[in-house]
Structure 1
């Protein structure tokens, strides 16, 4: 069978993590003993910004996982070639990280996708495609909890002869 019937049989895993923490997404069905010639990590629904320098975090992983199956009908939500962002590619013993190289890596032993740290825009559905398979074994839904981090603006003004920097103040609005 092809089409939606194939997708409805996929396993579905949810991983929940707090923004700012580190997390490893394990590639389903892959172990340290697996023979891997090619591997890709992709994300659908992620709103990744272009790579920019971010500070790394050594926070411990705070994640939980729940396994199950999910039924998907129609074409929406399918992991087609054009609908998912390619994050990491492994081939010929070389790793290419396509997005956010400063905080995303591939574990060379387990082929897990590692985030140091995870950000709110990493929320989405992740797939690990092994040895050029077209369909993943499992879809991993990454849920990132916590507030969206605001863009920092650098604000300075002169107060008499004193230069005042208010860049790190938190602004609050009345409701």
Structure 2
């Protein structure tokens, strides 16, 4: 009988188990003078009272009486066809096929096939040996940075046994690497070699700087200080800050820009501004892709230097003459500048009759008529011109 035509008995087991393979045609009552177990090579030999183990001495042995081959424990590499030759017979009575199921070998190193700012396409080779159990799916593990830990808790499980996958949910301008595990009915394989490092593409920042201080330092300057947004919101190389400003009442065409090309700067003074003007000031961070969202504040420049105006003594003037003289002073004062100046009054008005109060209620200042309800005298004089200050004279 040829070995090729001998019947085959199959034994299936899992790696790590203990296995006993019976010698076909031999029982406890058989008369055995010599016996040899073979697979790819000679394994165990029995002759008379002597037993020799040629391979895997710590795991292989003969069972007394039945001459069965014991393998403890069995490994995936033990899979194969075994033959038991009794009393120098040239052919075995039957062959024994041992099938050892184990976790698969690791897949090939994953390759980066393409990427964006938020996703990467991976491809890898399947395991060389699945160890008698087909691949069901793969597990992809992600590592952020060159020194980070592998994120095993949030590993990606593929839906099938395809050897490519798109990994999403990544962050822009971030270093990543990947590794893959194959899974069969026995469990997951060892991890593959890690992919080569890659950096996702940039995006414009989505973090806003926080303005901590914004105030005028003079009639023509504004001071800003700020705190940078979180680093992971920059999404690229942090190049610096962009300041945009314009008078609040003017159109967008009047916007001016300042670029601060140093990410470590945290304050700046804007100069050469208009006096006593409310400005709309915006601050952004920027990277090579452009600026991010802005933080905006409104800041007023100072009123400027005081102008001293001397009003003649009004004590002895008739009411009509006093009214005519003040009507002449006010428009001329306003004509010097299109914004209300600060006025230093060097003469406190004396108490007058109710006619003076009626006059103060109807003084025309430029384009508007200010109506005042305060009593006549120093307080009324202070109020009729916004920003005026009074000083008492002897």
Calculate the TM-score normalised by the size of structure 1: 0.59
What residue in structure 2 maps to residue 92 of structure 1?
48
Asked whether 1:36 is paired with 2:32, we answer yes
CA distance 1:22–1:149, shift in 2 (3 Å) = farther
Instruction: Give the conservation status (yes or no) of the 8 Å contact 2:45–2:53.
Output: yes
SS of 2:57's partner is coil
Shift of 1:171: 6.2
Shift of 1:172: 3.2
SS of 1:137's partner is coil
* Equivalences for residues 142-157 of structure 1 within 5 A: 142-147=98-103
SS of 2:77's partner is helix
* Equivalences for residues 134-145 of structure 1 within 5 A: 134-145=90-101
Shift of 1:126: 0.1
CA distance 1:86–1:171, shift in 2 (3 Å) = closer
Select 1:120's aligned residue among 76, 90, 96.
76
Select 1:111's aligned residue among 25, 49, 67.
67
Per-residue CA deviation, residues 53-86 of structure 1 (Å, 9 max, x unaligned), is: xxxxxxxxxxxxxxxxxxxxxxxxxxxxxxxx00
- Give the Cα–Cα distance (whole angstroms) in 1 for the partners of residues 82 and 12 of structure 2: 13
CA distance 1:121–1:8, shift in 2 (3 Å) = closer
More helix by share: 2
Asked whether 1:17 is paired with 2:13, we answer yes
Instruction: Give the conservation status (yes or no) of the 8 Å contact 2:37–2:85.
Output: yes
Shift of 1:8: 4.8
SS of 2:2's partner is helix
CA distance 1:19–1:149, shift in 2 (3 Å) = farther
What residue in structure 2 maps to residue 59 of structure 1?
none
Asked whether 1:131 is paired with 2:87, we answer yes
Instruction: Give the conservation status (yes or no) of the 8 Å contact 1:120–1:148.
Output: no
CA distance 1:171–1:97, shift in 2 (3 Å) = closer
Shift of 1:11: 1.0
CA distance 1:95–1:7, shift in 2 (3 Å) = closer
Pick 1 or 2: higher relative contact order, CA cutoff 8 A, min separation 6.
Answer: 1
When the two structures are aligned, how many residues end up with a matched partner?
Answer: 112
Shift of 1:6: 3.0
- Give the Cα–Cα distance (whole angstroms) in 2 for the partners of residues 89 and 10 of structure 1: 21
What RMSD, in angstroms, separates the aligned Cα atoms of the two structures? 2.3
CA distance 1:148–1:8, shift in 2 (3 Å) = same
SS of 2:39's partner is strand
- Give the Cα–Cα distance (whole angstroms) in 2 for the partners of residues 30 and 104 of structure 1: 19
- Give the Cα–Cα distance (whole angstroms) in 1 for the partners of residues 2 and 26 of structure 2: 21
Whichever of the two has the greater Rg, that structure is 2
- Give the Cα–Cα distance (whole angstroms) in 2 for the partners of residues 139 and 12 of structure 1: 5
Structure 2: any 5+ residue segments left out of the alignment? 107-188, 196-394
